[in-house]
Amino acid sequence: MTALIIIGAILFVIALILFLPVHITACVKDDAKVFLRILFIKIKLFPMKEKPEKKEKKKSGKAAEKKKSEKKEEKKEKEKRNIPELIHSVAEVLSVFLKQFSKHVKIRVLRYKIIIGTGDAAKTALLYGAAEQATAYLFAVLGENINFAFSKKNSLVWVDFTSEKTTADVKIDVSVNVFGALAMILPTFMAYMRNFGTPNDKKEDKIQSEKAPGKE
């Protein structure tokens, strides 16, 4: 009898853990941050601490300068992503995330404010239209696939023709139980890599697709 009580207690604890709510909160303001929260435990998922680079032997002037320049260019390529492209990429990742597991997920857009500015009136107007359209697409994907809500008073896509900089202040909370989270890891990770993988990976994929039979 005692053994059955112990086994029952263990199974109860495991079931309780599997159905604990897990919150993933993404914030974008001056920079992007993603946090994982379970009860009172909060873990930063992004940005992760970069591992210190191994010390390399000093190379001759031109070789070292070339490598340094290549690293700068690679960094710039990674940072190149405008607001509409980012919103579309987020929408695609979320659509994969939600498609098969929507019953486990609740999404709350707590804050969504994007002010478009570029310093060029024509470019600003085009970017504003694209950002507004992309936002409508993002909210439609969420609304059709998931338990989704957003604060209308805290949601705004606007244009500032006097500003030379586009600013964003976004906070989205995704809650899911542990069981649901475990089921979502693989497909969501694959969608993330397709949209946010390194530029070099994307170029290689493009080159391979161009070389495929029938492309000549």
- The answer, yes or no, to whether residue 2 has pLDDT greater than 80, is no
Percentage of the chain beyond pLDDT 90 is 17
Nearest of 131, 139, 91 to residue 115 by alpha carbon:
131
State residue 206's pLDDT score: 45
Both structure tokens of 112: 């969504």
Phi, psi of 8, rounded to the nearest 5 degrees: -60, -40
Where does residue 183 rank: exposed (0-12), middle (13-18), buried (19+ CB within 10 A)?
middle
Average pLDDT, rounded, for the chain = 76
Residue with tokens 């709350």: 108
Taking residues 77-103, report their average pLDDT: 70
Q: What is the pLDDT of residue 45?
A: 82
Share of the chain above pLDDT 70, in %: 68
Q: pTM of the predicted model, to two decimals?
A: 0.57
**27-84 pLDDT per residue, tens:** 888 788 888 888 788 888 887 666 666 555 554 566 667 667 766 666 555 555 567 7
- Comparing CA positions, the residue from 170, 167, 143, 139 lying closest to residue 154 is 170
Q: How far apart are the first and last CA of the chain?
A: 73
pLDDT tens for 153-201 read: 888 999 999 988 899 999 999 888 777 777 777 777 787 787 777 554 4
